[in-house]
Amino acid sequence: MAQVRARFAVDDLSGAMQAVDTAKSLKRRLPTREALYLDAWAATLRDRGQASDAWRRLSSLYPDYFAAQYNAALWLYAENRFEESLPYARQAADPRFELSNVAHDLLGRILVARGDVTGARQAFKRAIDGGRTASNRYLGSAEASLRNYAAAESMLDRAAPSRHVVIERTSIAVDRKQWTHAVQIARDGNSQFASASGFDQQVMLVPLATALWGAGDDDATRAQLRHNVDSALRRVDNRAPADGGDDAMVALASALLSVRMGDTALVERVLARLSPINEVLGQPPVAETLAVVRASLATHQKKPDEALAMLAPWLTGQASFQTRVAAMDAYLAKGANAQALAQADYLAGNRGRAYAEVDCAYCLQPLNVLDSNRAAGVAATLRRRPEPTAAAITVP
């Protein structure tokens, strides 16, 4: 089982699956709790959509088993189910748990998503005091969500040597509309990760495309989006189906930007490739984002009612940021201003969630932040003028 955890941590999922298979062949030697722990890992690796349920089952049977509480919180968090994940994270953040610093880190991220920056600061402080310096990265996100940019940059400096802070730095530049700076940060980050292993190779593709788009460089954005889709779908083709979720999200996020640029051919290519892969679509964030891409395409094709029907199953309390963005745009296109305003107010007022959603290793963070600011503009426009205007739905 140590091999399972170690291989999973470095994105060697095929190696982790082999280790799980070896462990399962020896399962009869395990006590009941450890056998269920193995089953939960098997579910996590082979059917990501079942991971949160598997860990919740184990935690309900053994409420003092902090590893189960932590993993239940983690996988609920990965599905953007922040309210549900919170009690598990609080239970895992127990001083008796040998990884309580890691649990406090997760608790802090959940609290940022809920807009409780005061609580998040306290959780991150405990994580950092426990030796987890990487928590400074997420503390930086918390400060950025309040527009405390100097404090945010200071926290990101303290998170070194983590290379991943380049995502937050890109998001902050996007947030401040420093487009040239955002593009440079994202380009440098993308070059830095080009030789990395695993999904790290892909992590800056969508942030770079977002920065280019925000900067108004349409030709470079289109070229980047085509590259993103080529790379992501190639990796989906070359990996086990259950292991393709993050790469599918890169392709779908790139498709979302492509819709906004009017490149529907690239969108259709992504939808055609991903729609038949049940193991990928069994992962809730992927299935939801696929619906968002389809709905955004319908809105682009002047079919807002169809778009809203596609979004309806996902417009719950745990709807992703981009689900609400797509709903706002569909309501605007339909002329349903009151409903558009409600979504715009939510998006503008929940900046913590924009920074905290973890989809594809935070690759959507800059786009979420951009759209939160765009939503504030939409809300202001709708309050000044009862009818939607082209300016209200054009980015940026």
What pLDDT, in 10s, does the model give residues 180-226?
999 999 999 999 999 998 899 999 999 999 999 999 999 999 999 99
What pLDDT, in 10s, does the model give residues 28-79?
888 889 888 888 988 888 888 888 999 999 999 999 999 999 999 999 999 9
Q: Is residue 217 one of the residues assigned to a domain?
A: yes
Phi/psi of residue 39, nearest 5 degrees: -60, -40
What pLDDT, in 10s, does the model give residues 150-170?
999 999 999 977 899 999 999
CA dihedral (51, 138, 359, 240) positive or negative? negative
What pLDDT, in 10s, does the model give residues 302-358?
999 999 999 999 999 999 999 999 999 999 999 999 999 999 999 999 999 999 999
Tally the domains of the chain.
Answer: 1
What pLDDT, in 10s, does the model give residues 105-114?
999 999 999 9
Q: Is residue 49 one of the residues assigned to a domain?
A: no
Question: Does the structure show a pLDDT above 50 at 396?
Answer: no
Select from 298, 283, 251, 213 the least CA-distant residue to 43: 283
* Between residues 290 and 390, the one the model is more confident about: 290
Q: Is residue 320 one of the residues assigned to a domain?
A: yes
Select from 206, 224, 219, 227 the least CA-distant residue to 367: 206
- How far CA 8 is from CA of 43, 71, 74, in Å, comes to 13, 13, 14
Q: Is residue 214 one of the residues assigned to a domain?
A: yes
Q: Is residue 313 one of the residues assigned to a domain?
A: yes
Q: Is residue 45 one of the residues assigned to a domain?
A: no
How many CB atoms lie under 10 A from the CB of residue 275? 12
Q: Is residue 336 one of the residues assigned to a domain?
A: yes
Measured distance CA(30)–CA(34) in Å, rounded: 6
Domain of residue 275, residue span = 169-396
Instruction: Using the CB atoms, write b or e for 101-126: b if 16+ within 10 Å.
Output: bbbbbbbbbbbbbbbbbebbbebbeb
Measured distance CA(225)–CA(39) in Å, rounded: 39
pLDDT over 70 percentage in the chain: 96
Q: What is 81-132 written as a DSSP string?
A: -HHHHHHHHHHH--TTSTTHHHHHHHHHHHHHHTT-HHHHHHHHHHHHHTT-
Select from 58, 123, 57, 74 the least CA-distant residue to 94: 123
Question: Does the structure show a pLDDT above 70 at 392?
Answer: no
What pLDDT, in 10s, does the model give residues 239-258?
766 668 999 999 999 999 99
**Token code pair at residue 7:** 């291989």
Q: For residue 339, give the CATH number of its domain.
A: 1.25.40
Please give the pLDDT value at position 271: 97
Q: Is residue 178 one of the residues assigned to a domain?
A: yes
Question: Does the structure show a pLDDT above 50 at 390?
Answer: no
